Amino acid sequence: MSNSTIASGATAYVSHSSCGMHDMGKGHPECPARLAAIQDRLIAAGLWDYLLHVDAEPATRAQVERVHLAPYLDELAQRSPAVGTVQLDPDTAINAYTLRAAYHAAGAGIRAADLVMQGKAQNAFCAIRPPGHHAERDKSMGFCFFNNVAVAAYHLIAEYGLQRIAIIDFDVHHGNGTEDICAGDERILMVSIFQHPFYPYSGDQPKGSNMLNVPMARAATGQDFREVVSERWLPALRAFAPEFILISAGFDAHLEDDMGSLGLVEADYAWVTRQLMKIAAEFSSHRIVSLLEGGYDLSALGRSVAEHVRVLTGE
């Protein structure tokens, strides 16, 4: 979709076909079928035709280097195979299409941020893979290669001069990579929940005063989550008065997702999205970009994203 056909006040759906070509092997939970499940559910929910469908452009090397070290990017390129897959760690593998997908995934956040900042969309959801919030400055891990939400945050700082960006992470796993990159940068406030103790076994000791990490015990419920948001997140966000809200939208804290052991359901994702939209309306000129992270039970993922997106569209 060209810029001229993008109307303000709508929700953009930013993705790219390359995100479906990254494949870490048969049976891997972070699979291309995740994006198909989201699309199918959005169609079934009657939301698909109301979204502004936008193709991501690949992030440039310079844009990615705002958050990742050049030797790390060189190493990924060197290890990228012409055929087959190369295992980078027990959980994370790279195939011939992975880096193309990763650059487009990072580029989706940039494209979405531009659309929202330029008034061509009110908010956006990035249907992307590979995910990003475990990727540290010089390390891939946890299915992640580039830290997509951090790339978007530092694009907003570099290109638009924003000084207060909130990153919200409700994935079941701690966003250790985002914390590694952003800790100590007072232009960014990161608020998160995550199951603990659990992979990647971090987050209980925040690395900076701009990190509001709230560990949650195994079997914590949606009501527990709502209390954390109401009592911890929202006061901190209001005090910070963000100019832009970025969401690391992981849906693997869902009750039906066996990747974790928390008890959120679709209604909880809809509720937290409404709370964040209220903050965005109050402080951020409604500006929100949400980027897909985890979510591995395909049915629960599709249903949860549909409710998240439904609220973003204002329904």
134 catalytic residue (yes or no): yes
**CB burial string 142-173: b at 16+ within 10 A, e below:** bbbbbbbbbbbbbbbbeeeebebbbbbbbbbb
CA 291/CA 216 separation, integer angstroms: 22
Q: Which amino acid is at 95?
A: N
- In terms of Cα–Cα distance, which of 122, 301, 224 is closest to 233? 224
- In terms of Cα–Cα distance, which of 102, 95, 166, 170 is closest to 135? 102
> Which residue is catalytic, options 134, 155, 196, 308?
134
Q: Could you tell me the sign of the dihedral formed by the alpha carbons of 154, 157, 158, 160, in that order?
A: positive
Active-site residue set: 134
